[in-house]
Amino acid sequence: MKKFSDLKRISCLAIFLTLTGCATTPPPPLPQLIKHAVWETNDKALVYDACLKGLHLNGFMILVAERESGLLATEWKDISTASIDAKFRMNLLIFSEAPGHTSLSIRYDINWSGKEGHKVKTVEAEQIVSKSVTDTMDSLFLEFDRLVGKASDKGYASFTWK
């Protein structure tokens, strides 16, 4: 009887150690990416000019600037690190959404790979690239806030890596 009780304790201990030893902490969630912003103004030209100037001041080369349609498109911006080749570009559309409100919609294109000798598409690499893009966008929106005032609303989306 004692032998069975000891075997039961050893089995429970082995299962416990196996489960706790295999448990890993999940990676932190990727930061949120600004996809949409709204300013309380009818002045679409003011928001357009602020976006154009903000992009320029943050080192973006402008590929397309169509004031009438409200479209701005950037060239690739390099955000590489020592271990990752990374770049991103954006299409921005400024439009009047409702009376007294001007909106900005952003579409991102992000491209990255590991440099020679570094793993590609690791969780750590995803975190690094995501943080670099969001830090760049935070800096850009600080400039927008300075030029046109703080956006009354912002919409966010999660990064999705394929």
* 1 has a pLDDT exceeding 60: no
Which of 38-47, 53-62, 106-115, 137-146 is predicted least confidently? 106-115
In tens, the pLDDT along 57-85 reads 999 999 999 999 999 999 999 999 888 89
Query: How far is 70 from 94, CA to CA, in rounded Å?
Result: 5
Domain span at 40: 27-158
Q: Is residue 13 part of a domain?
A: no
Q: What is the number of alpha carbons within 13 Å of residue 62 lying toward its C-beta?
A: 17
pTM > 0.75: yes or no: yes
Q: Is residue 105 part of a domain?
A: yes
Q: What residues are paired with 102 via a beta bridge?
A: 39, 96
Q: What residues are paired with 73 via a beta bridge?
A: 64, 91
Cβ distance 95 to 70 under 8 Å? Answer: yes
80: CATH? 3.30.530.50
Span 90-111, average pLDDT: 94
Query: How far is 114 from 105, CA to CA, in rounded Å?
Result: 30
Q: Is residue 48 part of a domain?
A: yes
Share of the chain above pLDDT 90, in %: 60
